[in-house]
Chain A
């Protein structure tokens, strides 16, 4: 036995990834597969990883204020242990309200998604944070012969808070700033970031999706017709999901149907009728993995209901020079419609350099104009057209 064989046997092994981890990775990949082609420009760093599962042109001040608001609001959310039994009652009450909503439909279902995140940067020798925002708008037509329209924008890269803005201005308000990376990062991978005050780099695609299959395939290849046929009853919906789980190879990655069930949350992100959404909320409220974290203000400054449907703690992310900042995730639902306000909201669970515990590190938000509309999407002036269809 040589040293290498010995080493192979001596080093601790690791358990296989959980079904949740595999699902999360698969979802990120699915999101990437929906991305319109990105223009190749040096120095441009997109945060479009979550393209499909991402959302508004808001004034910087408003967004920054919202982040600050969320920080203070979420800090007041009680720890899970403090949530009284029956804590998911709030979801059942929400479901009751959602069930009463009219089933309004238009020619297009619009989903405007913002993908926002904090980045640690340097101007001169002074470090501060910028908030980077990109946006992807999707118009899913009711008529399957109508093309799907997708528009992508780089929204802005701005100092995250007034204090950050002071640092940036004191350094002469440079147009580009240097990203702060973890030690050992190759220079080529630690690029400069261009500050950006107005939306730019628009790219649009306009392509028919064969059969009208929706881009979000986390619950298989669904069309609007499939979605319309879903039952508005939690028990029936559960059985429908069971049939899908049994039939789908990818869904069978979960060891049991019970482990797969939290995926019902995906229905909250699809253009389902209010009755189906209510059924999904009731179903989710009854799962042991679902935890209502209370009322919060989302990063866009809107009142919402914070919920976690899967493991939400024990994650780490990279921030600035720190390669492992503990973070937790939360989903924020609209308090009246049960639709998504913000997903994958990452909150620092510990302080790091330039980052206070409780700060929102990144999130994907649905802009207020989400929902059904009769307004036909038009390619804005100056928006480059991409010939590549949506995968």
Chain B
């Protein structure tokens, strides 16, 4: 991934916007597509960069990347119904699928088996918790970056992640699914 220029001064952001777009458009699109759908991401990813171009970047709060993920998360929140529908649908679909015997990678089998319960648990999380989880998991953001993206204290990120983890584990039956597969 290209490294965006030093963006200490907000006016510079506009000067370097082409580089910012080139460096981050694909990953922002992917993040939205994984939470909503490819088609929605086609439009929404563009909206993220339009919103970003129009300003509001505060270098004192963190880097450009978490800021862009924050805008994307905010736009995704307007599609909450769609997202919940998506996780519920994935949960139902995954439950119907038999684990593939041809799948050589055990981890993938394990992942396939847990997709249903995990997707169901995601649908049941409250919005704030889900945002924190998916920014970490899909965006690969650190605690500090998630805090900057959502403009919340780092402590809140930690407590939301903790709560969400408990719910995810509960959905998996309080067991480690990988150990079960191997076991």
Contact = CB atoms under 8 A, between A and B. Distances in A.
A332 to B, nearest CB: 21
Interface string B96-113: 000000000001101110
Nearest to A189: B78
B49 A324 contact: no
A265 B118 CA distance: 46
Contact of A21 (B34, B42, B107, B172): B42
Interface of B, helix, strand, loop or mixed by DSSP: helix
B9 interface: no
B81 A323 contact: yes
A2 B79 CA distance: 28
B90 interface: yes
Contact of B49 (A6, A29, A182): A29
A4 B158 CA distance: 13
Contacts of A314: 39
B38 A25 contact: no
Question: Interface range on chain A: under 10, 10 to 19, 20 to 34, or 35 or more?
Answer: 35 or more
B21 A29 contact: yes
Interface of B: 14, 17-18, 21, 25-26, 29-30, 33-34, 37-43, 45-46, 49-50, 53-54, 77-82, 90, 107-108, 110-112, 114-115, 118-119, 122, 127, 133, 136-138, 161, 165, 168-169, 172, 176-178
Interface of A: 1-4, 6-17, 21-22, 24-26, 28-29, 32-33, 49, 181-186, 189, 250, 314-318, 323-324, 391
25 contacts: A3-B168, A4-B168, A7-B133, A9-B107, A10-B119, A12-B90, A14-B34, A16-B29, A17-B26, A17-B30, A17-B42, A22-B25, A25-B25, A33-B14, A33-B17, A181-B78, A182-B80, A183-B80, A184-B77, A184-B127, A185-B77, A250-B18, A315-B42, A323-B81, A391-B14
